[in-house]
Amino acid sequence: MATLGEIAAVSSARLQGCDAATVVTGVAPLNRAGPGQISFLTQARYRPFLAKTRASAVILSVEDAADCPAPALVADNPQVAYARAAALFEPVAEARSGVHPTAWVHASAQIAVDAWIGPHSTVEAGAVIESGVVVGPNCVVGAGATLGERTRLVAQVTICHRVRLGRRVLVHPGAVIGSDGFGLALDREGRWLKIPQLGGVVIGDDVEIGANTTVDRGALEDTVIEDGVKLDNQIQVGHNVKIGAHSALAGCVGIAGSARIGRHCMLGGGVGVAGHLAIADRVQITGMSLVAQSIAESGVYSSGLAVEPNRAWNKISARLRRLDEMFRRLVALEKKLNRDRST
Amino acid sequence: MATLGEIAAVSSARLQGCDAATVVTGVAPLNRAGPGQISFLTQARYRPFLAKTRASAVILSVEDAADCPAPALVADNPQVAYARAAALFEPVAEARSGVHPTAWVHASAQIAVDAWIGPHSTVEAGAVIESGVVVGPNCVVGAGATLGERTRLVAQVTICHRVRLGRRVLVHPGAVIGSDGFGLALDREGRWLKIPQLGGVVIGDDVEIGANTTVDRGALEDTVIEDGVKLDNQIQVGHNVKIGAHSALAGCVGIAGSARIGRHCMLGGGVGVAGHLAIADRVQITGMSLVAQSIAESGVYSSGLAVEPNRAWNKISARLRRLDEMFRRLVALEKKLNRDRST
Amino acid sequence: MATLGEIAAVSSARLQGCDAATVVTGVAPLNRAGPGQISFLTQARYRPFLAKTRASAVILSVEDAADCPAPALVADNPQVAYARAAALFEPVAEARSGVHPTAWVHASAQIAVDAWIGPHSTVEAGAVIESGVVVGPNCVVGAGATLGERTRLVAQVTICHRVRLGRRVLVHPGAVIGSDGFGLALDREGRWLKIPQLGGVVIGDDVEIGANTTVDRGALEDTVIEDGVKLDNQIQVGHNVKIGAHSALAGCVGIAGSARIGRHCMLGGGVGVAGHLAIADRVQITGMSLVAQSIAESGVYSSGLAVEPNRAWNKISARLRRLDEMFRRLVALEKKLNRDRST
């Protein structure tokens, strides 16, 4: 529950045709919002719903404000304004501090007095849990790990030994941070010998890590995820990878060992990045592409192929296998034609 | 242990050359089954084993029944008949009800008297656990979540706050339902601001959700998985996705936010579906394909490319990069030839 | 902490210009190592750092030994030697045995006296935990499962009922072994009926299983992973798959049901393998490739396509869709040219 005045204040929006005292109790999309709800216009495909919206107020841009039949909160960046406004309507988790009776905390761990360790969580020797941290139910915090101020592990999260998380890091259920990297040496008989993974993981401030995402510890030095990085669900980050600040990776991305991703990069869903390469700042990779070599220039890159009806695709695929032959036949034709002409 | 008569009854099969009282103690493939075991013929590649099978009885189709040297259970749909018969041989889990002494259940949660909450599981405030539900060991059921009748969380499952599961839903270990969607707004400095994820997840009846699969909660409205949907392992379902009834998705599929999948669809392993698009009913996508645009017609679609020996593939791949040039050279040749002819 | 003499002994290296009594306290890369640290040269890209290294000693090959300014440990296979040496510097986990007070172990489970069951772990009826096994925090070991000598579940691992792990198996957090396979029968109304998954999983000795990797139990017979196999993170192994000894699979690989992978195979990250096929021994598949048919010959195979700038890729992709037309136009040109000539 918030007044339009309060919402305008947190979202840096200007009230237009609004009574600042109007009370709003929830958020809804433009086509569903009713009285008492605030809505927003941040995507073009919702514009048709603006004229008939029944929302109590709409967050939108200067350009759209003129067409708004309802009271408006006009913002320079309506999406950012909406993100800030919506935070007022998040269910407030019961403020808890202390250690739940079913949790187990090693005597040598340091837990800030206002931190919370939830049911069935395990905190190993020497771990440091800073002020305001929330460790949800059924988490494991390994020996010597550090969770910075106001970091939150939602539930079932595993933070392995000596991993360091910054402040306000949000880790979703099932994520594993600091598992061993995939380091193997091949012996004379073709058997794999494990290379001990002695490095750690260092994660900056304001990082978000999605459900069931895995981040491996470094082989010798640390795997590094810089400030403000956002990782979606089911991402795999190999050992010694470095992800630059404010990059965002969509679900199911896989990054092989020692790859370096720049700052402000965006990787689409299912992208694969080979090991030991570097991607420059501000590079975007579209979904299901494979980055097999370093990318030195910012820009948008792709290698995903979109579906065709199966029968057509089978033909394309068969022809593709003869592409080299096709090219050679083309060159032969060109030569023949030039020869014919010259004779 | 079951008699052939009992098996015939549950699987709607007709006995042929069988004594209904014959006792069977287990199930085995045609080429391995021995006396006391029942087998089945549901895939053509097992047909060669039929003539010599030592099984006590075989579930098969009318067409195959004539060639069966053993007693037969003849079924219209042998695969369905087998599925029903095999259920008689599943290890019967000890019937348990109540709350394990090591589980922790919030005082405000409602647990049906015949439900079971296993060791080290956590059930948060206001959760509703209906009749016959089994919550296996080390699960987390979030605040206000609902598990419908006879739903089963196998182990290590996370159901986030306010998520609603229907009846007879089966969730395998490591699955996470209701984690935050990947909603971000970009501010002027290129930093990502989290958009609160205020929606929920609603899952219908008879849904199966594989190990380590993740289903995100909606941004404002709900992510919806309709009745009878089957999700394999390691699938990622983004926020506000809707999956129509009786669709089956194989392992490692990724579905980006707000995509709508129709009813009775089948997605092969590793398929990626882009966001904000719609797939019609009865669409099949073969493995490792990318759906980048809406599909309006039912049918089979593909974009996966199968392996070639690496050397051949490198040539194809190099030629592919010159495909536009190749096309232009082809067109130039055509023009030249027409010009030559007309002169 | 170890002396160079001790390191040489475990790694079968020859000391060159070294005092065997020199004490080393840690490991570091060539360009970072300082006095008191040992380093190694196993990858060509580190060779430039050799001349100026400040390491107390360097593990390297006979070929590189001549250029080493520091004391050297000369090895036939420096990577294997390094793997053995580095093991001396792994943090020694506190030796623990017994059952943690917060763990829950069924009365019928057999736990070796020197095994350890960590906090909040659950061990179900009839499970067998052999000598030297470490079950880390928050794990689940299902009914009748067996963990062979010195096997270690790091944390949050799920071993389902009747799964058998060999000796010295290492399972990383979030892995799930023995979840139901994806077995479904389609009824007349287009609804899916679950086929009971009655088989198990058998895992050999010295296998490593990565974080959040899933291995399904067989439908009737077992899913089998042979000795020495190494699985990276987030791999999906379908039911009845067999992976031959000493194969290594990188992150995010997906293997569909009943596929058989040979011995000494290497699969790159994100590779997909279709069901019911066989891959010979010593096959390598490069990253993000799709194996859609059996591979009978050892060798390297590929189908991954690497990124191009998006604009160039869109052209390629559009041309690709016209590849069949292009081929037919090429053939038509060839015919026309031959006809023109013959006239």
Interface predicted TM-score (ipTM)? 0.96
Residue C342, pLDDT > 80, answer no
Verify whether the Cβ–Cβ distance C303 to B324 is below 8 Å.
Answer: no
Chain B segment 255-284 residues within 8 A of C by beta carbon are 264, 269-270
Residue B339, pLDDT > 90, answer no
A167, two tokens: 């402040």
Judging contacts by C-beta atoms under 8 Å, the chain B residues touching residue C299 are 309-310
Q: Using a pLDDT cut of 70, give the percent of chain B over it.
A: 99
| Residue entry with tokens 């407030």 | A92
Instruction: Give the active site residue among A100, A239, A264, A276.
Output: A239
Cα gap B45→C308, rounded to integer Å: 43
Confidence of residue A255 (pLDDT cuts 50, 70, 90): very high
pLDDT digits 0-9 by tens, A154-192: 999 999 999 999 999 999 999 999 999 999 999 999 999
Contact status of C87 with chain B (Cβ, < 8 Å): no
By C-alpha distance, the chain A residue nearest C80 is A185
pLDDT of residue B180: 97
Confidence of residue A91 (pLDDT cuts 50, 70, 90): confident
**Span C320-328, mean pLDDT?**
92
pLDDT of residue C18: 84
Cα gap B150→B153, rounded to integer Å: 10
**Span C119-125, mean pLDDT?**
98
pLDDT of residue C138: 98
* Interface-testing mutation among A135, A227, A288, with chain B (most B C-beta atoms within 10 A): A288
Q: Using a pLDDT cut of 90, give the percent of chain A over it.
A: 92
Q: Using a pLDDT cut of 90, give the percent of chain C over it.
A: 91
Judging contacts by C-beta atoms under 8 Å, the chain B residues touching residue C256 are 250-251, 269, 287
Instruction: Give the active site residue among B100, B106, B161, B239.
Output: B239
Chain B segment 148-187 residues within 8 A of A by beta carbon are 156, 158, 160-162, 174, 176, 179-180, 182-187
pTM, full prediction? 0.97
Verify whether the Cβ–Cβ distance B292 to A306 is below 8 Å.
Answer: yes
Verify whether the Cβ–Cβ distance C308 to B327 is below 8 Å.
Answer: no
3-state DSSP of C247-266: CEECCCCEECCCCEECCCCE
pLDDT of residue B338: 81
Verify whether the Cβ–Cβ distance B252 to C236 is below 8 Å.
Answer: yes
Measured from the Cβ of residue A110, the count of other Cβ atoms closer than 10 Å reads 13
Residue C280, pLDDT > 90, answer yes
| B120 included as an active-site residue | no
Chain CA centroid to CA B333, Å = 51
By C-alpha distance, the chain C residue nearest B80 is C185
Contact status of C210 with chain A (Cβ, < 8 Å): yes
Average pLDDT, chain A: 95
By C-alpha distance, the chain A residue nearest C333 is A333
Verify whether the Cβ–Cβ distance C233 to A221 is below 8 Å.
Answer: no
Report the residue from B160, B192, B290 with minimal CB separation from A246. Answer: B192
Residue C256, pLDDT > 70, answer yes
3-state DSSP of chain A: CEEHHHHHHHHCCEEECCCCCCEECEECCCCCCCCCEEEECCCHHHHHHCCCCCCCEEEECHHHHCCCCCCEEECCCHHHHHHHHHHHHCCCCCCCCEECCCCEECCCCEECCCCEECCCCEECCCCEECCCCEECCCCEECCCCEECCCCEECCCCEECCCCEECCCCEECCCCEEEECCCCEEECCCCCEEECCCCCCEEECCCCEECCCCEEECCCCCCEEECCCCEECCCCEECCCCEECCCCEECCCCEECCCCEECCCCEECCCCEECCCCEECCCEEECCCCEECCCECCCEEEECCCECEEHHHHHHHHHHHCCHHHHHHHHHHHHHHHHHHHHC
Contact status of B228 with chain C (Cβ, < 8 Å): yes
pLDDT of residue B48: 94
C271, two tokens: 């590779």
**Span A31-46, mean pLDDT?**
93
Instruction: Give the active site residue among C120, C239, C246, C276.
Output: C239
Report the residue from B28, B252, B323 with minimal CB separation from C319. Answer: B323
Q: Which of B21-25, B138-142, B300-304, C131-135 has the lowest mean pLDDT?
A: B21-25
Please say whether the beta carbons of C139 and C122 come within 8 A. Answer: yes
pLDDT of residue B224: 98
Q: Using a pLDDT cut of 90, give the percent of chain B over it.
A: 91
Residue A330, pLDDT > 70, answer yes
**Span C172-192, mean pLDDT?**
97
Confidence of residue C115 (pLDDT cuts 50, 70, 90): very high
Cα gap A215→A261, rounded to integer Å: 14
Verify whether the Cβ–Cβ distance A308 to B302 is below 8 Å.
Answer: yes
pLDDT digits 0-9 by tens, B73-126: 999 999 999 999 999 998 877 779 999 999 999 999 999 999 999 999 999 999
| Neighbour subunits, A (≥3 Cβ pairs < 8 A) | B, C
Verify whether the Cβ–Cβ distance C230 to A274 is below 8 Å.
Answer: no
Residue C340, pLDDT > 80, answer no
Confidence of residue A325 (pLDDT cuts 50, 70, 90): very high
pLDDT of residue C1: 87
3-state DSSP of chain B: CEEHHHHHHHHCCEEECCCCCCEECEECCCCCCCCCEEEECCCHHHHHHCCCCCCCEEEECHHHHCCCCCCEEECCCHHHHHHHHHHHHCCCCCCCCEECCCCEECCCCEECCCCEECCCCEECCCCEECCCCEECCCCEECCCCEECCCCEECCCCEECCCCEECCCCEECCCCEEEECCCCEEECCCCCEEECCCCCCEEECCCCEECCCCEEECCCCCCEEECCCCEECCCCEECCCCEECCCCEECCCCEECCCCEECCCCEECCCCEECCCCEECCCEEECCCCEECCCECCCEEEECCCECEEHHHHHHHHHHHCCHHHHHHHHHHHHHHHHHHHHC
By C-alpha distance, the chain A residue nearest C214 is A212
Contacts of range A309-314, beta carbons closer than 8 Å, 24 or more positions apart? A309/B299, A309/B300, A309/B301, A309/B302, A310/B286, A310/B299, A310/B300, A310/B301, A310/B302, A311/B300, A312/C321, A312/C324, A313/B301, A313/B302, A313/B303, A314/B302
Verify whether the Cβ–Cβ distance C288 to A272 is below 8 Å.
Answer: yes
Residue B191, pLDDT > 80, answer yes
Sign of CA dihedral B286, B287, B291, B294: positive
**Span A218-242, mean pLDDT?**
97
Confidence of residue B343 (pLDDT cuts 50, 70, 90): low
Maximum Cα–Cα distance for chain C, whole Å? 96
Verify whether the Cβ–Cβ distance B211 to C179 is below 8 Å.
Answer: yes
Contact status of A190 with chain C (Cβ, < 8 Å): yes
pLDDT of residue C343: 60
**Span C282-297, mean pLDDT?**
98
Judging contacts by C-beta atoms under 8 Å, the chain B residues touching residue A2 are none
Contact status of C190 with chain A (Cβ, < 8 Å): no
pLDDT digits 0-9 by tens, B299-329: 999 999 999 999 999 999 999 999 999 999 9
Contact status of B100 with chain C (Cβ, < 8 Å): yes
Residue A342, pLDDT > 80, answer no
pLDDT of residue A343: 61
Residue C317, pLDDT > 90, answer yes
Contact status of C336 with chain B (Cβ, < 8 Å): yes
